[in-house]
Structure 1
Amino acid sequence: MDARWLTAPPAEVAAAMATQRRSARPAWVPTKRQMLVHLTWSLLLWYCFIVFMTIGVRVDGYGDNDTGPDDWRDLAIALVVLMVWVLVALLLQRWAKRPPAPRARLAEWRQTLTALANGFEPQLRIASPLPVLIGQPAGRASVYPRFTAAGDQRVEFGNLVWRTGMHGRPVTRGYLAVTLPSPLPHLYLDSLANGRTPGDLPTSVDRSQRLKLEGDFDRHFAAYAPSGYGTDALYALAPDVMAALIDDAAGFDVEIIDDRVVFSTPTAADYSDAATWSRIETVLSGVALRLVKRAAAYRDDRVSGQHLRPARVIGPGGRRLANGYRSRGPWPMLRLVGWMLALFFLYVVPGLFAFAGFMSIVDDK
């Protein structure tokens, strides 16, 4: 991999980027500044709710609907604080619209130029197209950054980002996906050397699908294949493939699904680090190339008339691991309803109570 742009002088990087006129950061990716602005406005709304409701309850409950001098004084102080807060929020919002800090912009330029120098294009995509276990539900996942390359061996890599549960913590995984010439049975290799708890699968995969492989491969990966497709999995995991996985991809979880193999890490990949690009090159030239050759020669004998089909297919029993997609069904709709209710209670409820409290103060009938 050509990694010269990761250490090139900043002036040279800026000059090269000016000729490219492209950026790897999409507008939908929030910055820390934008998150700060969002937090400021949200806290301001809750401040209005608490202050106005407190004064309003005091007027209605203890003042017999009569607004006294102390109430007007407290209201005036609250309004002054409110105006100052709004001014600060507007200044923060203006500050957030400024271009990224030079250091962050330079880091983005370096990784973009490195990708271009190695034949990869920065591609923007909001929703993840990967139907893999690591990013379920894919409809709520996003990819940033994302780099792609076309050709005989279509490749894409980047960082996959999503949230666990409805309001769970954000999860980011680095990934590298390679398109195979024909599909293989669903196969998942859970790395035992990447810092995750052994057997900590991303979704509820039936543990009875675990394969027992010869040699010391089981000390590095826990392999899972659909029931009845163990022999086919052994075909894909030929001795040279297993050796390459141990030597070059021991820190990756590996999933073969349909006509794609996906290598992923439990943490985000740092594309400003030359070591990351070196690992990508190692995987592409090693184990990925071996899997491409195995896929090109594979046929599922359970499906009749494969030689008459324009494209090879996998039998229904081998296309997916059992329980690999528990996140489907009614859960996505329930999560959406839950999220809408959360927004209602976070914004609409305090806004209505703040207005009601303010009207209780000024209405002293």
Structure 2
Amino acid sequence: MTPPQLSFDPRPLTEPVDAASVRAFAAELRSRRTAGMSASTVIGIAVAVIAAVVMIPIFVSVVLALASFGGSPATAAIPLVLILLLLAAVGVMIWLSVRNAQATRYRLDRFARANGMSYEPKIVDPPLPGMIFSLGRARQSTDLIRGTRPRFVEFGNYQYTVQSGKNSTTYRWGYVAVKLDVPLPNIVLDAKGNNGFGSNLPASFQKAQRLSLEGDFDQHFTLYCPAGYERDALYLFTPDIMARFIDNAAQLDVEIVDDWLFLYTQRKVSTLDPATWAWLFGVVGALLTKFDQWARWRDDRLIAENPGATASAAPPNQALPFAPPAGLLTPPPGVAPQGRRLKRGGTWVPIIIVIGFIAFWIVSRII
């Protein structure tokens, strides 16, 4: 079956935009945020106001002091003029940055509308179950493009900050989230094509959960599935589905968790680059028809937990009018607890570094 072709009109990404329309769209976005200004925005405004109140008297005091010691007010004013010029240059750069950001949001909104989708500028702490969405603090998705047909798909940029002592690091990802029909076991495909020194994923998994698949799939991905779910993974990743992932998503890490499929990359997904969107639309379009096969998967372990589960559903408090034939007992959609999350593995890198440092210190003391 030929995969469905998603509507793709890249022209709004690069077409000239009307400045007045950009300003009107920016005003509309500001009006949406008026009722719920974030704490970080309030803190930023407060810091700017306090800095201005504190710094302006200091500048005036410095000029007056230089004038009293240097004699010439014009000479004393030179540092102030230089500082004002510097502040003006910073202000111009900030203005240009804001204007470019507004134009980018306007273009992305027009691009979303042209392709039957919608645009959302930012969501704080998005409620998604993927591995990157529960890490760190200051979590936010930006420039989200969402579609609902033939199924819900969200393209977005994401960032979070991890504190380590006095230092903090901000990690940035691009992601595609696709809603599935039923919950599936937690499966991760670690793409080998985007790894550097080891995996680039923010989580590690126990090696016992690795599963080798047929063909050359293992050359492109390392697949992890919960222990005991190997046959289920083979049911989900048939040769035709493996071929789709190899041909279209070999540079993307993949996670199946609950009733979501996530594609991860350490570059922006929501961008003004038409080539990036053409690639991502092609990836999603190539996978969409294969997701229909996954809707038929059921976890047989739920039968043991719920022996009364059947393929047919009777109204509440009403018995089935017949006894289901033997062998047709089918669990409801869902995943048994042991398959819902992969078991995480520890990393040996910090331990190796500490051991190496101690060994070096001991050797240096002996020598």
**What's the TM-score once normalised by structure 2's chain length?**
0.65
2:187 aligns to what? 187
Q: Which runs of 5+ in 2 are unaligned?
A: 1-7, 59-68, 70-76, 304-308, 315-331, 348-367
Ranges of 4+ aligned residues in structure 1 off by more than 4 Å:
13-31, 83-101, 308-311
The one-letter code sitting in structure 2 at the alignment partner of 1:121 is: S
- Which of residues 113, 117, 126 is equivalent to 1:116? 113
Question: Is the Cα–Cα contact under 8 Å of residues 126 and 141 in structure 2 kept in the other structure?
Answer: yes
**1:93-132 matches, cutoff 5 A:** 100-123=97-120, 124-132=122-130
1:291-330 to structure 2, matched below 5 A, reads 292-304=291-303, 305=309, 307=311, 312-323=333-344
1:219-272 per-position Cα deviation (integer Å, ceiling 9, x unaligned): 100100000001111111111111011111111100000101001102222510
Instruction: Tell me the amino acid that sits aligned with residue 260 of structure 1.
Output: W
1:142 Cα deviation after fit: 0.8
**Partner Cα separation in structure 2 for residue 314 and residue 303 of structure 1:** 7
What secondary structure, in the 3-state scheme, does the structure 1 residue paired with 2:102 have?
A: helix
CA deviations over 1:318-361 (Å, ceiling 9, x no partner): 100012899xxxxxxxxxxxxxxxxxxxxxxxxxxxxxxxxxxx
Name the counterpart of 2:352: none
2:155 aligned with 1:157, yes or no? yes
Moved more, 261-270 or 312-321: 261-270
Offset at residue 295 of structure 1 (A): 2.0
In the aligned structure 2, how far is the partner of 1:324 from the partner of 1:308?
A: 40
Spell out, residue by residue over 1:40-68, the C-alpha distance to the aligned partner (whole angstroms, 9 max, x if none): 959x89xx9xxxxxxxxxxxxxxxxxxxx
CA distance in 2, matches of 1:97, 1:250: 38
| One-letter code aligned to 2:101 | A
Per-residue deviation, 1:157? 1.3
- Contact map agreement 2:191 2:220 (CA 8 A) in 1: yes
Check the 8 A contact 2:155/2:270 in 1, yes or no: no
SS of 2:282's partner is: helix
Compare relative contact order (CA 8 Å, sep 6+) and give the higher one, 1 or 2.
1
User: Which residue number corresponds to residue 206 of structure 1?
Assistant: 206
Instruction: State whether residues 193 and 251 of structure 1, in contact with CA within 8 Å, keep that contact through their aligned partners in structure 2.
Output: yes
Give the aligned residue type for 1:160: Y
Per-residue deviation, 1:281? 1.3
Distance of 2:111 and 2:127 partners within structure 1: 24
* Correspondent of 1:7 among 6, 9, 14: 14
Q: Please give the alpha-carbon distance, in whole angstroms, between the structure 2 residues aligned to 1:297 and 1:85.
A: 70
Deviation at 1:14, TM superposition (A): 5.7
How large is the Cα RMSD of the aligned pairs?
Answer: 4.1
Following the alignment from structure 2 to structure 1, what is the Cα–Cα distance between the partners of residues 310 and 154? 29
Alpha-carbon distance between aligned partners in 2 of 1:87 and 1:309, rounded to the nearest angstrom: 75
Length-normalised TM-score, structure 1: 0.66
Aligned to 2:360: none
Cα distance in 1 for partners of 2:94, 2:278 equals 35
Equivalent-residue separation in structure 2 for 1:20 and 1:121 (angstroms) = 16
**Counterpart Cα distance in 1 of 2:12 and 2:196:** 32
Q: Percent identity between the aligned chains?
A: 32
* Secondary structure in structure 2 of the residue aligned to 1:262: strand
Structure 1: runs of 5+ lacking an equivalent:
49-72, 74-79, 327-365
The 3 A distance-change label for structure 1 pair 232 and 179 is: same
